[in-house]
Amino acid sequence: MSRLIPVERPSDIPSPLRGSPTGRLLEFHNLEREFDVYERAEILIGMCMDNRKQLRLPDQFAYILRAGGANLLPSEFKVSYAVAVGGIRWLALIGHTNCGMSGLSSRRGEFVRGLVDAGWEPADAADHFDRFAPEFEIGDPVEFVSHESARLAKRYPAVTVTPMIYRVEDGRLYLVRPD
């Protein structure tokens, strides 16, 4: 976790992000900045579907795309929509500690049993897991969010993509030091 950079005061926000929508996101959530009034979204936030994470944000400030592990690859058309139609030029990709999409392969038995309990045939449940788990496995969340941000930055050259981690232990956002 040594790659996580805490943001506890405005000067902790790197200068290229200060005053930007990404910097504001950090101020709203971590620094309790008073809410500004927004009439349209200024940022796209990609984050995991996990229920333990709630961001402190003003109304209308952000498009939020929630997907397992903050993996936006299967949601790329929605990213394109936010960029093309919503005019979004700032993207924060937020992974989190203790993510269920990390180490997914070790939970195959639990996953298959759970689907069987929910009415699936065992063979269908196992096939379903084997077919999709590799696509959704993120490995280490810090590494993942860093690589996925680099991929998105390449794909959308006019968009500034910033990888972050939400620590469920303290409910705060951290920047990720590049490797």
- The residue behind tokens 């298959």 is 112
Rule CB under 5 A: choose which of 25, 94, 99, 142 binds Zn ion: 99
48 binds Zn ion (CB under 5 A): yes
Least distance from Zn ion to the Cβ atom of residue 36, Å? 29
Identify the bridge partners of residue 162 per DSSP, sorted by sequence position: 92
**Nearer Cβ to Zn ion, position 18 or 167?**
167
Least distance from Zn ion to the Cβ atom of residue 48, Å? 3
**Nearer Cβ to Zn ion, position 5 or 137?**
137
**Nearer Cβ to Zn ion, position 47 or 83?**
47
Per-residue exposure over 149-176, b if at least 16 CB sit within 10 Å of its own CB, e if not: beebbeebeebbbbbbbbbeeeebbbbb
92 binds Zn ion (CB under 5 A): no
Identify the bridge partners of residue 149 per DSSP, sorted by sequence position: none
Closest CA to 2 of 155, 176, 144: 176
Rule CB under 5 A: choose which of 7, 22, 43, 50 binds Zn ion: 50
